[in-house]
Amino acid sequence: MIESNFTIAGNIVDIIAKRIFKGEVVIESGRVIAINKLDNAPDCYILPGLVDSHVHIESSLLIPSRFADLVVRKGTLGVVTDPHEIANVLGEIGIDFMINDARKTPLEIRFGVPSCVPATPFETSGFKLGANKVESLLKREEVVCLAEVMDYPGVINEDLEVMKKIVATKKLGKKIDGHAPGVKGDDLRKYVAAGVSADHECSNMEEALEKLNLGMKIQIREGSAAKDFEALYSLIDSHPEKVMLCTDDTHPDDLFERGHIDNLIRLGLEKGCDIFNLLRAASYNAIRHYGLDLGLLQVGDSADFIVIDNPKSFKVKSSFMKGECIYKEGEVFFESHNEILLNNFYRKEITLEDIQIAAKNGDVHTMTVKDGDLLTGWTQARPRVEEGCFVSDAKQDLLKMVVMSRYNNEKPVVGFAKGFGFEKGAISGSIAHDSHNIIAVGVDDEDILNALNKLINLKGGMVASEGEDTRSVRLDVAGLMSNKRGEDLLSEYENLSDLTKSFGSSFHSPFMTLAFMSLLVIPKLKLSDKGLFDVTQFKLIDLYCE
């Protein structure tokens, strides 16, 4: 561990003045007291730490302290996280767990208060956060915003409960984050006028520009399932003050293999983005927008910065917070451990009959799924029939999907999806946005059943099953996260992924994609534990076509 009084030299990257020069940074008592030019300096680059402007830490499958251990290696020193996932399972208890665990780390972890718990009344959730509870949580010092307001119909129609949360946020002077995929025109104007200031759900330039023109900031997202960087990266240079970077939902294998916000820096440089605009989108803009307590490598700032080999490869050599080295050359200098286990899981095992569905004349409403896109299409299809029941048909890439409550023992709901590309096997998980009920998809009813019952016995996690081969990852914190070290969890996850890859899907992250198939606030067609859901009309519909 390096003491808090020291001098470090290299190529200084000044993102405020937009210049790079050889120099040294002088640190005393955790602050930058001088930056001096030099004629010669080591061949490394010193720059502000990176910030993820919108992330669900739960999607890393790691508790906050374990997540911090991983991302400081990638140059991330700050995150704005929405504990929406654990709040749906455990309410305020879950949010307290996340905040308390985050305090154990030097990482600047700031929180949004989940605005929609549950996200809709059309699914079973573990808890509800009403307007009074939201206002109470907003007063906490760790909180910087009202997290993604997914109930955009409620904002547009001035629903009393939704507006109470927005008014409370404004009164406290905190930001309001958006979540309005595909909303445009008069509806979007009403949404923005309510005070929503940022959105991470844009998937095309037309949508992003309309929101920018109305005064919103755009968070360009590149996660494990939703990948919008390719469509939106040009905004970094065309609207440099209005863009932030985020990962939203990223699985541990991607964090290890591709990186975190550092991955977006490399992608942006490959696309020819101006390096200073890119680095400001990755730090300055989010720090200023949310008022984060992070230095920007200026005299008088807190000594929070990273050292990299060069911008092109962006390999992080060391990370510093308040003048202390928290990571250097593969070693992290803070503890990341928590023995507390919390859960809310009451499901009992099911039988084959529970997931069978009677065949009828005609087609069924069917989701169409694409890799890298949370939006689902909607088509009609005719499933294969066996013994009077509809079953999956891998030949037409039509797979049975099952969703059932983790909080009670109501009968499972069955639907169908095209696009996963499985030729065999089944997968299941207790990560199913946003209420985190149990979800599965597969080719064979027996494999689907095995995957579901294994998951139930684990009381949360992810499972892949094909014949006699069943592999799993147990997530013993709310069925969403593990308190294991990132490396240990990754080993289990890779073993699970190896079996899943043999099923034939070309999807980058089938589990992550599956997790969004019950997200009822992303168009067009989704499946909840209460039935098939038409997102456009915001209502449950019958599986069978008329």
What's the CATH code of the domain at 134? 3.20.20.140
Distance CA 46, CA 286 (A): 19
State residue 1's pLDDT score. 46
Q: Does residue 43 lie within any of the structural domains? A: no
Spans of the chain below 50 pLDDT: 1-2
pLDDT tens sequence across 301-350? 999 999 999 999 999 999 999 999 999 999 999 987 778 889 999 999 99
**What are the Cα distances from residue 218, in Å, to 109, 203, 236, 511?**
20, 11, 10, 27
Residues 264 and 368 in one domain: no
Out of 279, 296, 313, pick the residue that ends a domain.
296
- Same structural domain for residues 392 and 256? no
Q: How far apart are CA 265 and CA 281, in angstroms?
A: 9
The reply to whether 317 falls in a domain is no
Pair 81, 212 in one domain: yes
Q: How many CB atoms lie within 10 A of CB 351?
A: 9
Residues 356 and 280 in one domain: no
Helix 160-171 and helix 131-138: axis angle, to 10°? 20
Contact status, residue 394 vs residue 443, Cβ threshold 8 Å: yes
Query: Cα 535 to the chain's mean position, in Å?
Result: 21
Query: Which of 296, 319, 343 corresponds to the end of one domain?
Result: 296
Structural contact between residues 477 and 341, judged by C-beta atoms closer than 8 angstroms: yes
Number of domains in the chain: 2
**Residue whose token pair is 């790691």:** 62
In this predicted structure, what is the pLDDT of residue 3? Answer: 56
Residue 467: other Cβ atoms inside 10 A: 11
Q: Let me know whether 128 and 195 are in one domain.
A: yes
Residues 385 and 275 in one domain: no
SS (H, E, C) 75-88: CEEEEEECCHHHHH
Whether residue 391 sits in one domain with residue 289? no
Assess contact for 214 and 233: CB atoms under 8 A: no
Q: Does 211 fall in a domain?
A: yes
346 part of a folded domain: no
Q: Taking the CA atoms of the chain, what radius of gyration do you get in angstroms? A: 23
Does residue 358 share a domain with residue 257? Answer: no
Would you say residue 322 lies in a domain? no
**117 & 245 share domain:** yes
130 belongs to a structural domain: yes
Alpha helices in 271-370 (DSSP H): 275-281, 284-290
Distance of CA 97 to the CA centre of its chain: 18
Same domain for 114 and 215: yes
Tokens representing residue 131 in the block: 């307007």
Which of 296, 312, 329 corresponds to the end of one domain? 296
pTM for the whole structure: 0.93
Is there a single domain that holds both residue 84 and residue 178?
yes
Please indicate, yes or no, if residue 403 is contained in any of the structural domains. yes
180 token code pair: 């309005």
134: containing domain: 49-296
Reported as a single tens digit per residue, the pLDDT across 272-300 is: 999 999 999 999 999 999 999 999 999 99
Residue 286 located in a structural domain? yes
89 and 221, same domain (yes or no): yes
